[in-house]
Amino acid sequence: MNVSPAQSINVPINVSMPPTPYYLLDEALIVDNMQIIARLCELSGAKALLALKCFATWGVFDAMAPYLHGTTSSSLNEVRLGFETFGNNDNAADNSEKKETHAYSVAYSADEIPEVLKYADKIIFNSFSQLSAFKDQAHAKNIPVGLRLNPKTSNSSFIIADPARPFSRLGEHDKARIAAVLSDITGVMIHNNCENDSFEAFSESLADIEARFGDILQQLEWVSLGGGIHFIAPDYPLEKLAERLKAFSEKYGVQVYLEPGEASIHGAGTLVTTVLDTMHNAKNLAVVDSSIEAHMLDLLIYRESAPIVAINGQPVIIAPLDTALNKDVADSESEALAKNSSADNTIIYGRSCLAGDIFGEYSLPSTLKVGDTVTFGNAAGYTMVKKNWFNGVNMPAIVIRRLDGTVDIQREFNYQEYKASLS
């Protein structure tokens, strides 16, 4: 999860906000990202699909739909959500108005396929065996079929998110066997980037794929290059990426698809919390009414910390210190740890029972007090889709700042929903 400091989101003081914690999405900041994606598509000829596995808060889809070509999914529920909520697919006057809905899953069950095919414009199978089992049903409905290709190379800093990790189940790599099923498929999906902000690394990886699978690519109609390309960074060479994608498309005669997830909503969502308690144990400690395990789970999974973008509603940009609080093993001799070790620092904890429920350690301008609000940045991608009821901690409400500046409380959660989720 990319946790670089994000833009602050100001809340109008005349708006009655729900009790904390709550997620706050800003449509204007989302549209800023959308415009970059649309520009890339315009220059390259690629099509962009929102990756629902990363972000699926459909309350802002109306602001996103004008800029994207559709959605891509990882399950039956996601493909249905994409069809029902992203664009007016049921009432589209013609195919030019309809948004594309791509279906993919690591493994489908046989009983899911008929319903998946009700919503999908393309279906991508993860393995030869799934392709063999279900391709005929897709062909009978004239739905294009794809296969996930695993080039066994990747751009990922995290082994947990590396599709090319040893013994990976994510896609097929045997070129001869892929060639043998070309008559069954019209395209492939290749997803081997994770938070890759280097154009050079992406281009080299694509060149490697071309060298090994070029003769296969020439026989396809479309290629999805997945997501994980951090091309919305201010210093990313967008035009060079567009040229590379366009050249790839023209060389092999394929429609290129991209699946931006984090790139679609980076910096556009925050988690607003309130300090419930303060303590001191060699350092300043603060406990907020949220939980990293329940409300920003990706930070815990990837052993990262959250940036602070506002304190008591005042915009700040405070990056977490590198103190290895969320690492499995702390290196006591690390220069970074020694440099950042200060009794004046503040560690912000979540309220769950997990000892490592830590948002991060920070050097703050003043000591936090009970009742202070702390707003954590970049809390949309791979965050809202993973929220859970651990410890029964209150689920954050979902608040949306619209393009016209009005603020909607999209959803609040209560005890009955917590109870219903358990039995």
DSSP labels for 73-94?
A: -SSHHHHHHHHHHSS--TT-SS
Q: How far is CA 184 from CA 69, 105, 191, in A?
A: 25, 18, 20
At 72 the three-state DSSP class reads strand
pTM (whole model) above 0.75: yes
At residue 6, the pLDDT reads 40
Write down the pLDDT at residue 403: 97
Predicted confidence band of residue 343 (pLDDT cuts 50, 70, 90): confident
Helix (H, G, I), strand (E, B) or coil at 18: coil
pLDDT at 339 over 60: no
* Angle of CA points 262, 265, 270, to nearest 5°: 110
* 415 CB-near residues (< 8 Å, 6+ apart): none
Range scoring the smallest mean pLDDT among 126-140, 142-156, 315-329: 315-329
Residue 18's nearest CA partner among 295, 349, 274 is 274
CB count in 10 Å sphere of residue 196: 19
Q: How far apart are CA 64 and CA 387, in angstroms?
A: 22
**pLDDT beyond 50 at 117:** yes
Q: Per-residue pLDDT averaged across 397-407, rounded?
A: 97
* Residue partners of 61: CB distance under 8 A and separation at least 6: 85, 86, 87
**Pairing between strand 22-26 and 269-280?**
antiparallel
267 with 330: CB under 8 angstroms?
Answer: no
Query: Does an H or E element contain 413, and which?
Result: none
Task: Specify whether the CB–CB gap between 298 and 386 falls below 8 A.
Answer: yes
User: Quick one: what percent of the chain has pLDDT higher than 70?
Assistant: 90
Whether residue 292 has pLDDT greater than 70: yes
Q: Sort strands 358-362 and 397-401 into parallel, antiparallel or unpaired.
A: unpaired
d(CA 356, CA 347): 11
Question: Would the pLDDT of 65 be above 50?
Answer: yes
How, if at all, do strands 122-125 and 145-148 pair?
parallel
Residue 125's pLDDT is what? Answer: 98
**AA identity, residue 46:** A
Residue 184, token pair as written in the block = 């069954």
Q: For residue 105, give the nearest of 148, 144, 68, 151 by alpha carbon.
A: 148
CB 255 within 8 A of CB 221: yes
Give pLDDT, residue 96: 66
> Do 210 and 248 meet the contact criterion of CB atoms below 8 Å apart?
yes
Alpha-carbon dihedral of residues 78, 391, 2, 243, nearest 10 degrees? 0
Eight-class DSSP state of 184: G
DSSP class of residue 315 equals E
Name residues whose C-beta falls within 8 Å of residue 422's C-beta, 6 or more positions apart in sequence. Answer: 389
Residue 247 has pLDDT above 80, yes or no: yes
**In this predicted structure, which of 8-12, 30-34, 263-267, 293-297 has the lowest mean pLDDT?**
8-12
Confidence class for position 91, pLDDT limits 50, 70, 90: low
Rounded CA-CA distance 76/222 in Å is: 22
Which H or E run contains 422? none
pLDDT band at 333 (very low <50, low <70, confident <90, very high): low
User: Measured between alpha carbons, how far is residue 357 from residues 80, 312, 360 in Å?
Assistant: 34, 22, 9
Q: Find residue 23's DSSP bridge partners.
A: 271, 398
Asked whether 4 and 307 are in contact (CB, 8 A), the reply is yes
Give the span between the Cα atoms of 312 and 375, in whole angstroms. 8
CA distance 184 to 150: 18
Tell me the mean pLDDT in the region 300-311: 94
d(CA 285, CA 377): 20
